[in-house]
Amino acid sequence: GENVEQHPSTLSVQEGDSAVIKCTYSDSASNYFPWYKQELGKGPQLIIDIRSNVGEKKDQRIAVTLNKTAKHFSLHITETQPEDSAVYFCAASISGDKLSFGAGTTVTVRA
Amino acid sequence: EPEVTQTPSHQVTQMGQEVILRCVPISNHLYFYWYRQILGQKVEFLVSFYNNEISEKSEIFDDQFSVERPDGSNFTLKIRSTKLEDSAMYFCASNRDSNEKLFFGSGTQLSVL
């Protein structure tokens, strides 16, 4: 089955700096790659997603890049703010329903 | 914004007891899922459900687990005889179509003693 690896496990950045989280996947058939943000006491919330027919997608301060050849994708958060502090999960799937998740990255934005 | 609702938020049970975790998916969604996250581990897929039947299940989803949509709004996960290793956060999720964005509930923390 699909195996998703996520790095780093923890990330501490100064407010205003950028944060980058990287994921790799194993199944070349995967074509859907969402990113979720999980705050304390809440479920994962979708923040951005990308499909394999697109190399990059941006939504305000958040961007995701996909390299199908290398089977890796990354989340970029620019101009980080304290409210960006959370656990971030990448995921991959073939059909969009059965997601395989990475282990998560705990992001801390220092004021 | 519509959301997936899960109850209870915490459930404590004795080993061997049956538990039912409840979810109310977003109203116009047709596909329903259960995932779980054991402390310190990845979020894992358990089961997907569409048109009143299971469409896919993982190895974890053995005969001790069952799902049901008892009415037009609820979606439940039953664990027949809980084991210690069933202790985890259980997330319900739904989407309108299987290849559309997946929305998660806040989870039920199940503790089996």
Taking any CB pair shorter than 8 Å as contact, residues of chain A touching chain B are 4, 32, 34, 36, 41-46, 49, 89, 91, 95-104
Terminal C-alpha separation, chain B: 36
Is the backbone peptide bond immediately before A8 cis, with ω within 30 degrees of 0?
A: yes
Distance from CA of A51 to the nearest CA of B (A): 10
Q: Are strands B108-112 and B43-50 parallel, antiparallel or unpaired?
A: unpaired
pLDDT of residue B101: 87
Residue B105: its chain A contacts at CB < 8 A? 43
Q: In whole angstroms, give the CA distance from residue B74 to residue B82.
A: 22
pLDDT of residue B60: 93
Residue A45: its chain B contacts at CB < 8 A? 104
CB contact under 8 A, A100 and B45: yes
pLDDT averaged over 10-residue windows placed end to end, chain A, 111 residues? 94 97 96 93 91 90 96 97 96 84 96 91
Residue of chain B whose Cα is closest to the Cα of A42: B106
Where is B97: in which H helix or E strand?
A: none
Residue of chain B whose Cα is closest to the Cα of A32: B99
Q: In whole angstroms, give the CA distance from residue B30 to residue B13.
A: 31
Is the backbone peptide bond immediately before B8 cis, with ω within 30 degrees of 0?
A: yes
Q: Is the dihedral of CA B53, B59, B60, B63 positive or negative?
A: positive
pLDDT of residue A96: 65
Low-confidence ranges of chain B (pLDDT < 70): none
